[in-house]
């Protein structure tokens, strides 16, 4: 019966970023969910309202906000997701686009990715007198994560309190209205249930696709490492999400003279740009930092696959932010030595006792663990362990969500 219902279900996924060429974690998760719905035979569309300047890779379903809204985004840093969410109703261009999508596609289910679109979409649905079942797909406990982030960015206390209260209210509202609530970790399942009284909470952890490097990319990086006398490669991958940088500075710091010559931390992703901006050319530790760290920044998916393949150690110095870490799944699937915080393994707790993995929650311990891993022997995983690691593949991680949606 449930299966028969799902045949006629039409799912509209709504976000505040495109998923054409996913770069950050949010995009990757939304893209994976979209693919999983599709693979499962469900009728699905993705539409978003976005700050056009920030996302050049997009489809016709991703509509940039108007010039006025874009100006507002640029004038108020860190609020772009809230502004884009509101724009779905308040920005004529965005509203008309979303209305058009809904009218043409006639979704029976609207999947809200990361709460914010619901700010404007709820009003739009009321205005259109349109009824659809709502899925609240969370990636973090947004109010808590934003509170931490705004605090570290030095936002005015009163303004921060006002915005955070608003986000909390939004999450409450969405949890009330949703027929299914999706969480990424056990901790967040509990939070949704206890803080917001959410019903029908399904756990669908973050995952990753299996990465297969291309021989050409591997050769290219190998010769680059040889040229720079890099023998031991430590990989740190992170988006330009402030907690990624804060975690790195807290756990590893810029004082990385403890790494011997021939060892290099390869910093990949937007976090490299954040770190670069944070470097002061008149500070001794900052100048010497790049003797042992290469700030590679954004690399292609195929280059990342090669770097994962060639790295000797992957570090996950995550100390803040909500949700579960996509990079943890990536590291597990790479079968490399890992040094991580407990926070980075939220949602992946069952793997913390695996060989090759060291968990360290203080800066001293983290740095010591990195040193230990430099000389530690890489151990082979058992078949059982390998099978369990495969649970972090998107196709396995999102299975509970798809099953649940099919029952709506």
Binding footprint of another protein on the chain (CB under 8 A) = 229, 231, 253, 255-258, 260-262, 281-282, 284-285, 287-288, 291, 367
CB of 272 to another protein, least distance (A): 19
Nearer to another protein, 67 or 284 (CB): 284
DSSP string, 325-341: -HHHHHHHHHT-EEEE-
CB nearer another protein, residue 148 or residue 253: 253
Q: Is 291 or 342 the residue whose CB approaches another protein more closely?
A: 291
Q: Which residues contact 74 (CB under 8 A, 6 or more apart)?
A: 53
Which residue, 262 or 400, has its beta carbon nearer to another protein? Answer: 262
Residue 144's φ and ψ, nearest 5 degrees, are -70, -45
Secondary structure (DSSP) of 69-116:
HHHHHHHSTT-HHHHHHHHHHHSHHHHHHHHHHHHHH--SEEEEESST
Please say which residue, 213 or 262, places its beta carbon nearer to another protein.
262
Q: Residue 316: left (phi > 0), alpha (psi -120 to 50), or beta?
A: beta
3-state per-residue secondary structure call for 4-61? HHHHHCEEEEEECCCCCCCCCHHHHHHHHHHHHHHHCCCEEEEEEEECCCCCCCCCCC
CB of 265 to another protein, least distance (A): 12
Query: Do 111 and 135 form a contact (C-beta atoms < 8 A)?
Result: yes
Q: Smallest gap, in angstroms, from Cβ of residue 369 to another protein?
A: 15
User: CB-wise, 285 or 349, nearer to another protein?
Assistant: 285
């Amino acid at each position: 019966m449930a299966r028969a219902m799902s045949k006629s279900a039409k799912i509209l996924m709504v976000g505040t970023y495109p998923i054409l060429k996913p770069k950050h974690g949010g995009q990757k998760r939304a893209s994976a969910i979209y693919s999983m719905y599709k693979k499962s035979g469900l009728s699905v569309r993705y539409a978003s309202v976005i700050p056009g300047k920030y996302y050049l890779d997009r489809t016709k379903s991703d509509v940039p906000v108007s010039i006025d809204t874009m100006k507002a985004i640029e004038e108020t840093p860190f609020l772009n997701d809230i502004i884009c969410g509101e724009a779905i109703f308040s920005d004529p261009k965005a509203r008309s686009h979303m209305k058009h999508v809904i009218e043409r596609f006639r979704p029976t289910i609207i999947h809200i990715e990361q709460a914010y679109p619901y700010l404007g979409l709820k009003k739009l649905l009321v205005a259109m007198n349109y009824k659809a079942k709502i899925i609240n797909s969370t990636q973090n406990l947004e109010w808590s994560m934003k509170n931490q982030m705004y605090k570290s960015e030095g936002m005015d206390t009163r303004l921060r309190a006002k915005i955070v209260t608003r986000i909390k209210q939004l999450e409450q509202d969405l949890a009330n209205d949703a027929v299914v609530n999706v969480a990424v970790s056990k901790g967040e399942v509990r939070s949704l249930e206890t803080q917001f009284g959410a019903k029908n909470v399904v756990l669908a952890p973050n995952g990753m696709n299996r990465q297969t490097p291309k021989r050409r990319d591997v050769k290219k990086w190998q010769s680059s490492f040889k040229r720079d006398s890099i023998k031991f490669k430590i990989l740190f991958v992170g988006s330009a999400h402030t907690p990624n940088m804060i975690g790195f500075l807290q756990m590893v710091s810029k004082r990385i003279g403890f790494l011997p010559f021939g060892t290099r931390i390869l910093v990949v992703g937007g976090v490299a740009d954040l770190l670069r901006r944070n470097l002061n050319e008149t500070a001794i530790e900052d100048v010497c930092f790049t003797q042992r760290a290469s700030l590679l920044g954004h690399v292609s998916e195929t280059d990342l696959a090669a770097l994962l393949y060639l790295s000797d150690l992957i570090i996950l110095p995550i100390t803040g932010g909500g949700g579960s870490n996509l990079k943890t799944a990536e590291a597990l699937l790479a079968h490399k030595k890992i040094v991580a915080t407990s926070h980075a393994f939220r949602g992946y707790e069952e793997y913390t006792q695996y060989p090759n993995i060291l968990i360290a929650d203080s800066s001293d311990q983290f740095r010591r663990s990195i040193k230990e891993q430099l000389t530690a022997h890489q151990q082979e995983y058992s078949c059982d362990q390998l099978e369990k690691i495969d649970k972090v593949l998107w196709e396995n991680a999102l299975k509970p969500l798809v099953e649940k949606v099919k029952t709506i």
